[in-house]
Amino acid sequence: MSDTSIDKGSSLSQAIGFMRANRPLRAEELCRDYLGQKPGCTEHLRLLGHALMKQSRLQEAEQQLRLALSLEPEFPQVHEDLGSVLAMQSRFEEAIVELERAIQLQPALPLAHKKLGQALQAVGRGNDADEAFRVYLDNDPDRQAIAEHVKQLREGSREEAIKGLRVVLKRNPDSVNAMRFLALAYWQGKENLGDAEALLRRATQQAPDYAGAWLILGALLLERHKHMEAISAYQEVVRLEPENAEAWGGLGNAYSVAMYPDKGAEAFAKSVAIKGDAPGVQMGYAHVLKTLGDQAGALAAYRAAIKAKPGFGEVYWSMANLKIFNFEELEVSAMLQQIEREDLSESADIHFRFALGKAFEDKKDYDRAWHYYHTGNERQRMTVSHDPVEMENRHKRLRSVFTREFLTEKANRGHDVPDPIFIVGLPRSGSTLVEQILASHSQVEGTSELPVLGKLAESIGRYRTDGVQYPEAARDLRKKDWRAYGQQYMEESQRHRVTDKPFFTDKLPNNFPQVGLLHLILPNAKIINARRHPFDSCLGGYKQLFGSGQNFTYDMLDLAHYYRRYDAMMKHWREVLPGKVLDVHYEETVTDLENQVRRILAHCGLGFEESCVRFHETERAVKTASSEQVRQPIYTGALGTWRRYARHLDLWQEELGYIIDELPEVSRSAGL
């Protein structure tokens, strides 16, 4: 630009603001505008180098930083920045030269000492690296106090650590180490997570090269379901420290939950290439390979995790959860030995028991399989909370609000897009099969179990001062509110989509109580209820150790009561919204596939496509427990599985017998 009115200070301030807001491209534009006027400004050249680094344009960044040094050879911060860029390119010997020059010019550059230590470590100069790290720590005036509080945190004295770290921050508000560890203390206590995130964002703004703060921020954002922001945070870490295996593993996990399994697999592969003996990362790698349908690769990664940590019960359960996999005898023996250990954790013991249940089921030793499933469930039930009375009361409240009259009165007010297809029901009842059939259609994107509708329902009435909450608060929604909630659902679900197909599935089974709300906010959405013989449905849940939620599945009576509440709720929806929900019985689908496919597609307003019958040929990521089964042709082997365990199911016969009498004949006689 030729505009001579550009002010240097204002330009720098704006560009720095854009960098802090994670908008490096805009910062680059401002720097280039100013440099077009004054090419020799080293501050702008340095900031331009930072903006290019942030975009991973490392060679261009190096060029700008070298230009700055040619103009001002004794600019210590630019030598430090150039050392960072060279290290990011694994040019560690050159990086050492630049970092040592930066320290020579200005010894009080704490991060330069840390970066020098990392570069020295990378070339095998361990003693020199230790000295650089020692100087880095000594330059922090609050080092001893922070170290003491970190020790308190590790020893379980979290409250004392929090108090001490707050004192450090009051004395030195710019201490990024205090920010980092105070955020970690908040996070460990599962409290003040918003404050923890704010602290870490402030730390990364003040010290953009502080990989440790970015690493914790990525993990925290992932836990808070801010998947795309977590990806950005982890990308900062691997940009700064390309050999950080933990960061690559975190990035793989973030990509996976954000439904980018291919990128997740690539990140996990880099992590295990750097550090192959990290069992948690190997397990994460296996999970994403399973999602992608690479069973052989998944098994190899699971077994690598076991090699690194033989008592890792969760990995054995993950292998069992492949469903079409059978354990080897040595693996069964190893599990039996593990559960005899006195020092085995409760979590590992539970995982081993569920895996052993699957192992003995595959051997057709059903009584022994039941023993391990049952004892595993007994132990797991003690670790979770489920209140069947509260759930029943909640369902009654929903039915009292969403009556036929209410639904008629509030009709035609929602967001009228036809895009979503909801698949509801109970876990392990054939919902993944229905989703795979639909996702095999050219017009439908299969997403996953979206955590959107339930949270949206809970938000209704949240800020009312009279204490009225959902569902009763729905009675007072204004006409425009119904449409707004429908739009909110569409906006939030969009984050889980990767294509622009006109329709998409939401396969969260637990959405079944929200059919009335769903109908009012998205009146043109389609709803399918995936059903299965109650005993097979309950048994499928009882044999499954869920990653989280579904706490009703760990007790036989809880399961029976839940199924009865589900059945009552679906009968209510059939009564007040006739024809809205399509019941799809698993037994009818596997015995009469094409007719059921045509029925499902017709309900959704979709034309028949042969690919939906050949659903097992569809290549897509599937994250549920049935991921391997839906990649196989239709089979009837799972029909009537409950009969193998009939002698243990008298309780369900008493509680659910009346529901069985209402089922289609093919469901009642399944497995005979």
The pLDDT of residue 254? 95
Mean pLDDT of the chain: 91
Q: Is the pLDDT of residue 303 over 50?
A: yes
Nearest-5° Cα angle at 59, 58 to 60: 90
Overall size of the chain counted in residues: 672
**Spatial CA neighbour of 560 closest among 535, 584, 585:** 535
Sign (positive or negative) of CA dihedral 45, 48, 52, 57: negative
DSSP E strand stretches across 520-580: 526-531
The pLDDT of residue 633? 61
Q: pLDDT tens digit string along 444-492?
A: 999 888 989 999 999 999 888 898 999 999 999 999 999 999 999 999 9
The pLDDT of residue 497? 86
Contact 209, 218 (CB under 8 A): no
Angle between helices 211-223 and 227-240 (to 10 degrees): 160
Q: pLDDT tens digit string along 312-342?
A: 999 999 999 887 789 999 999 999 999 999 9
Please give the Cα distance from 302 to 285 (Å, whole number): 8
Q: What percent of the chain has pLDDT over 70?
A: 96
What domains can be seen in the chain, in order of their start residue? 8-138 (1.25.40.10), 143-381 (1.25.40.10), 388-632 (3.40.50.300)
Full-model pTM: 0.75
Contact 79, 94 (CB under 8 A): no
Encoded amino acid at 68, one letter: A
Q: pLDDT tens digit string along 344-390?
A: 999 999 999 999 999 999 999 999 999 999 999 999 999 999 999 99
More confident call, 247 vs 276: 247
CA distances from 394 to 120, 386, 459, 477 (A): 62, 13, 16, 19
Characterize 260-286 residue by residue with b for buried, 16 or more Cβ atoms within 10 angstroms of its Cβ, and e for exposed. bbebbbbbbbbbbebbeebbbbbbbbb
More confident call, 22 vs 16: 16
Sheet holding 503-506, edge to edge: 444-448, 503-506, 420-425, 526-531, 581-585
The pLDDT of residue 21? 78
The pLDDT of residue 411? 95
Mean pLDDT of 45-63: 93
Q: What percent of the chain has pLDDT over 90?
A: 71
The pLDDT of residue 623? 46
**Spatial CA neighbour of 198 closest among 211, 188, 210, 183:** 183
Give the number of other CB atoms < 10 A from CB of residue 306: 20
Among all chains, which residue has been given the structure tokens 């945190």? Answer: 153
The pLDDT of residue 216? 95
